[in-house]
Each structure stands twice: as C-alpha cells, then as structure tokens.
Amino acid sequence: MLADMKTAIYCRTSTNKQDKGLESQVRYLSDHCNQKGMNNFLTYSDFGISGKKSSRPGLNKLMSDTRSGKIKTIIVYSFSRFARSTQHLLQALEEFNRLDVTFISVSENIDTNTPMGKAMFTIISALAQLERELIVERVKLGLANAKAKGKKLGRSKTRDSDLIQELRLQGYSYRKIAQFAKCSISTVHRELSVPKVQI
C-alpha cells in the first residue's frame, strides 16, 4: 500500500527518444535499493521532459507525496536528473531538511543522512544564502544608482516594487521573494500582477 512506502526513486530523461536511458536509470536505482535492503519503494519518473521545466508530472507527484509524509527517502541517479537548476536543487534540499527527508544522489555519492552529507548540505546552504544576499545587494545598488541618475522607478509604495520585479526576473519563487523583500507573499502577487514599469 502507498501508506507503507517510505522510499522513492526518481528518474528523468529529456527526450522521448531516451526510453532505454530511463529504463537504465530505473534498473540502476532499483538495484541500488535492493542492495541496501530497501526492497519496498515507489518509482516516480518523467519521460521526455526537459530538466528546465518547472512543472513535471512525476516530480510534482513525488513532491506532493513527500510533503504529505508518505516519502522519507528520495534517491536519484544524479542532481541533474532531479533539479532544473542549482537554485531549484538548493530549495528542494532545504525543504527536505525541514521535512526530515533523506536525499541521496548515487553518482555524486551524497547522502544527507550521513555526517558527510549533512556537512555538505550545511556548506551548500551557507553558500546559497550568501549568493542570495549578494544578489539582493547588487539589485539594491543598481536601483540606487538609477535613482541617483534621476530615473523614475515607479510610484511610491510601501513595498519594494523594483526589488520584487528584479528578483522575479532572476527566477526566484514568490515565497523567496517575499523573504528577501520583507513582505507577504500576497504582496508579491499584487506587485507581479501589474505591468512592470519601464525604465
């Protein structure tokens, strides 16, 4: 039964011509699970879907089951098969950490349930936080420079509209933008629902 499943493997190929590639990933990860004594696992997969797509049926189902507590261990062949970008990977790892879910990438030999894996996660998270802070600082510096040159950046609002717009262009989620801009997610929605001001 699904309720008894606690381990999941996720596989993906970019094109529908890679059916053998998907099959080999499933076989490899299945063998890995069996060797580790994890014989009761679910398989999630996306066939012929680019890793750059933000929405993938197999991955969406995996994340939904993980958030509902049905999955406690996720195993992938490599980071590239799972995440569409470094930012996406880091966001997923942070969420798995909050949910107490173990993430294993076989080819990179990363297991977030081991001391080395936990240390790697801490390092990656620290670097990601530094990168986010640097991005916010660069955006603010650029906006300040534009204002100093007399460029009109839009109506005066309590929310930092320009920062919100720029972070969205950088690909950040509404939740992350709300954190950086120190506002609610609904405020981010309101800001991004209106046309951007042209500078």
Q: Show the 3-state SS of the chain.
A: CHHHCCEEEEEECCCCCCHHHHHHHHHHHHHHHHHCCCCCEEEEEECCCCCCCCCCHHHHHHHHHHHCCCCCEEEECCHHHHCCCHHHHHHHHHHHHHCCCEEEECCCCEECCCHHHHHHHHHHHHHHHHHHHHHHHHHHHHHHHHHHCCCCCCCCCCCCHHHHHHHHHCCCCHHHHHHHHCCCHHHHHHHHCCCCCCC
* Residue 14 is among the residues annotated as catalytic for this protein: yes
Q: Of the residues 14, 30, 80, 173, which is catalytic?
A: 14
pTM above 0.85, yes or no: no
Specify the fold of 2-113: Rossmann fold (3.40.50)
Q: Could you tell me where in the chain the CATH 3.40.50.1390 domains are found?
A: 2-113
Per-residue pLDDT of the chain (199 residues; tens, 9 = 90+): 344 459 999 999 876 555 567 889 999 999 999 998 888 899 999 988 776 666 789 999 999 999 999 999 999 998 888 887 777 888 888 899 899 999 999 988 889 888 887 787 777 767 767 776 777 787 778 777 777 777 665 554 567 787 888 888 878 888 888 888 888 888 888 888 865 444 3
